Amino acid sequence: MEADELVRLVGLFEVEGLRVWLDGGWGVDALLERQTREHDDLDLVSELADSERVVALLEAAGYELVDGAPPLSFVLVDADGRQVDVHPVVFDEARGGGVYRMKGDREWVYPAAGFEGRGRVGGRPVRCLTPEVQVLVHDGYELGEKDYRELCLLHERFGVRLPESVADRALATRDR
């Protein structure tokens, strides 16, 4: 997923009045306001109620739904292999943020303050998850070298605290 395609898609969402937040690698790069690596995909968080419109907009932009379906996450891919992973949430003040439903009826709650992140991609302002929430979403799965590097960059730029379980390895990526 290239920066210019991300900017194009964000612009389409904005024109349609759809709010999306960058997550994952592009979310980190948006916060840093520079691209630090190539990206296989674009991870977005959106409101579950907007899922039909999100799919329709992406299909009109040349993407095809290839996996998943709301209310769970879903994936769209275009003819060039660019991939958009959408994580729909329901905002629930009582639970403190955006509730993301996962397989097996598990839920994960994005903290409300996590949706206040702002960054830039290709000079364009974008919504993204905050540095603190980017660190939180890196928990719960097997991290790769790129993940440790992203955590280190977030720590260095924003002073965000890293979990003890990953801090040493993340900070060791500085030297690579």
Across 59-73, average pLDDT: 97
> What is the pLDDT at residue 174?
67
Across 127-131, average pLDDT: 97
**pLDDT-wise least confident of 9-13, 15-19, 52-56, 164-168:** 164-168
**Mean of per-residue pLDDT scores for the chain:** 92
Chain-centroid distance, C-alpha 71: 17
Q: For 76-119, how does the pLDDT look when each residue is reduced to its tens digit (9 = 90+)?
A: 999 999 999 999 999 987 777 999 999 998 998 999 999 999 99
| Residue 174, amino acid | R
CA–CA dist 127, 157 (Å, integer): 18
Q: Is the pLDDT of residue 24 over 80?
A: yes
Burial class, 106, CB count within 10 angstroms (exposed 0-12 / middle 13-18 / buried 19+): exposed
| Residue 30, amino acid | A
68 beta partners:
74
In Å, how far are 30, 90, 131 from 146, measured between CA atoms? 16, 29, 16
Confidence of residue 143 (pLDDT cuts 50, 70, 90): confident
Q: Is the pLDDT of residue 162 over 70?
A: yes
Domain boundaries, the chain: 3-130, 138-176
CATH number attached to the domain at 3-130:
3.30.460.40
> What is the pLDDT at residue 169?
80
Pairwise pLDDT comparison (120 vs 167), residue with the higher score: 120
